[in-house]
Amino acid sequence: MAGASETAHGGAIPDEHPAVIIKPAYDENLVNEDLAPLRNQTWSAYNIFAFWMSDVHSVGGYVTAGSLFSLGLVSWQVLVALIIGILIVQFFCNLVAKPSQVTGTPYPVICRASFGVKGANIPAIIRGLIAVAWYGIQTYLASAAFMIVALKFFPNLEPYSDLKQHGFAGLSTLGWASFMALWVLQAIVFWRGMEAIRVFIDWAGPAVYVVMIALAAYLVAKAGISNVGLTLGEVKYTGWDAVPVMFNAIALVVSYFSGPMLNFGDFSRYGSSFEAVKKGNFWGLPVNFLGFSLLTVITTSTTLPVFGHLITDPVETVSRIDSTFAVVLGAFTFMTATIGINIVANFVSPAFDFSNVSPKVISWRMGGMIAAVGSIFITPWNLYNNPAVIHYTLDILGAFIGPLFGILIVDFFIVKKQQVIVDDLYTMSPSGAYWYEGGYNRAAVMAIIPSALVPALCAVLPGLEGLANFTWFIGCALGYGVYAYLMKRQPDLAAQPG
């Protein structure tokens, strides 16, 4: 489609969507300007690298990296586990990136190839709900940094930070003000569109590195180089006893990235080439995550000699520094970092996912705002402050991530042999390749039930705690295997016209 499109009656109409391709034959119930295939894909390897920096450089990333060095292993074992884990993530991200990059379509649209043009709403809604829960929690974590800045400049607000004196629904008045301030700030960035998000993540990730290096240098100078270590606890496992713990560490790394890894197609679709995406993944995952993790453990280990006890929360660490400027800079930096991961991992995803449910009514922006509003009503501070609730809610939802990933990968690489008919992703015609039976591929729907049930049981049943960290791998393998088996039994469904 160049400058104009042909209507169903043969007349030319002006092209109203210069950035995407919307053909007259596309069904309005399956397409809008946000879900249509891209005409131009312009993101460079640096943009993908910056995406991963925003995903890693957050309070959650800091705590996760620090926790790896607190497992009772010696430092070299942690580093080996960390490198293996992040290389696995890189490998799977390259796999999931390809179908969206070659078609220029986001995650819920490419899912139509495996689940059917209507059935794709099943993985879209599941991923969207997971993102809503995490969006609220990450906003709440970022608001803690905002509160520190507010109290530093206005100590008279202290009573309003006390829930018992001023507050409702489980959060103090100042907590509400901080949460809503961050909520609005994120909405402003998101509302300006993907180009504004690209600009934001391009500088947010590097900015966090600058402050992290400065913070590490400051704390090392105060603690003394001899007090810097790469083990944040007593070494409990040696020899063969360390192997199961290392496997757990590898699984933790993969699990941490499982959400953004599943819908990475929402971003890889913008990649100028698949090679650019792979290059960005290399610098953004193994190189970046290793560097950030080392900075994290150096910073955390120095808190013991400097402040008298180990501090794993970077916001608390910067709040204890004597300099007001340093506290404000550090708090704003980690606030920015958390906004970055929240937008890329938990805002963009449900925006596409919810828009996919009803493209004619729900735009990408409206889909994102549905997620944002939903994140308020789940009162994420109550979720976060109740480990049992967050464990069962997020682990059960997370049990679906592995199967959805496995189905997407086996469908594209094995069943469809990397061939996707883009136009058929947008048609309700029964002759379309992805209509299957009434718009649903029963093989995909049936595959997800046992594939999600098994890891969900592993996550919640007593006695299976040892498998809880491996639910993504279990679900992914089951989704891959069950779907491949069911499609093999129905070769007519795997065949594509043309």
pLDDT at 425 over 50: yes
* Residue 332 tokens, joined: 């704003």
Q: Looking at 270-274, 376-380, 406-410, which range is the least confident one? A: 376-380
Condensed to tens digits (0 to 9), the pLDDT of residues 196-210 reads 888 888 888 888 888
The band of 234, judged by pLDDT with boundaries at 50, 70 and 90, is confident
Report whether pLDDT(472) > 60.
Answer: yes
Structural domain contains residue 447 = no
% pLDDT > 70, the chain: 92
Interacting residues of 265 by C-beta distance below 8 A, sequence separation 6+ = 96, 97, 99, 100, 101, 105, 106, 107, 110
For the whole model, what pTM was predicted?
0.88
Any domain includes 200: yes
For 487, the 3-state DSSP assignment is helix
54 alpha carbon, distance to own chain's centre: 10
Please give the residue range of the domain that contains residue 179: 42-394
Band of the pLDDT at 386, cuts 50, 70, 90?
Answer: low
How would residue 12 be classed by pLDDT, with cut points 50, 70 and 90?
very low
Beta pairing class for 4-6 and 12-14: antiparallel
Mean pLDDT of the chain: 86
Spatial CA neighbour of 96 closest among 317, 335, 295, 257: 257
Could you tell me which residue, 241 or 105, shows the higher pLDDT?
Answer: 105
Mean pLDDT, range 243-267, rounded to an integer: 91
Q: What is the DSSP string of 202-214?
A: HHHHHHHHHHHHH
Q: What is the pLDDT of residue 15?
A: 45
Q: What's the whole-number mean pLDDT along residues 110-126?
A: 96
Q: For residue 25, is it within any domain?
A: no
Number of structural domains the chain divides into: 1
Residue 424 lies in a domain: no
Within a domain: residue 376? yes
The stretch 69-78 carries a mean pLDDT of: 84
pLDDT of 396 higher than 80: no
Residue type, 52: W
Phi, psi of 173 (to 5 degrees): -60, -45
Are residues 261 and 89 in contact, defined by beta-carbon separation less than 8 angstroms? Answer: yes
Looking up residue 264, the CATH number of its domain turns out to be: 1.10.4160.10
d(CA 65, CA 295): 10
Give CA separation, 458 vs 388, 399, 440, 466, in Å.
15, 9, 29, 8
For residue 202, is it within any domain? Answer: yes
Q: What number is the average pLDDT over the span 335-348? A: 81
Q: At 422, is the pLDDT very low, low, confident or very high (cuts 50, 70, 90)?
A: very high
With 70 as the cut, is the pLDDT of residue 495 above it?
Answer: no
pLDDT in tens, 436-471: 999 999 999 999 999 999 998 887 788 877 787 788
What is the arithmetic mean of pLDDT over 209-216? Answer: 87
CA separation for the pair 272, 38 (Å, rounded): 11
203 vs 359: which has the higher pLDDT: 359
Which residues make Cβ contacts (< 8 Å) with residue 413, sequence separation at least 6?
95
pLDDT at 497: 52
424 contacts 434 by C-beta, under 8 angstroms: yes
Chain centroid to CA 251: how far? 16
Please report the pLDDT score of residue 8 as a whole number: 35
Q: Has residue 275 been placed in a domain?
A: yes
Long-range contacts of 290-293 (CB under 8 A, 24+ apart): 290/79, 290/82, 290/83, 290/86, 291/209, 292/56, 292/57, 292/61, 292/65, 292/209, 292/212, 293/65, 293/68, 293/69, 293/82
* Rounded CA separation 370/355 (Å): 10
For residue 191, being part of any structural domain is answered with yes
| 7: pLDDT strictly greater than 60 | no
Q: Are 52 and 281 in contact (CB under 8 A)?
A: yes
Using the structure block, give the residue that is written with the tokens 């891959």: 480
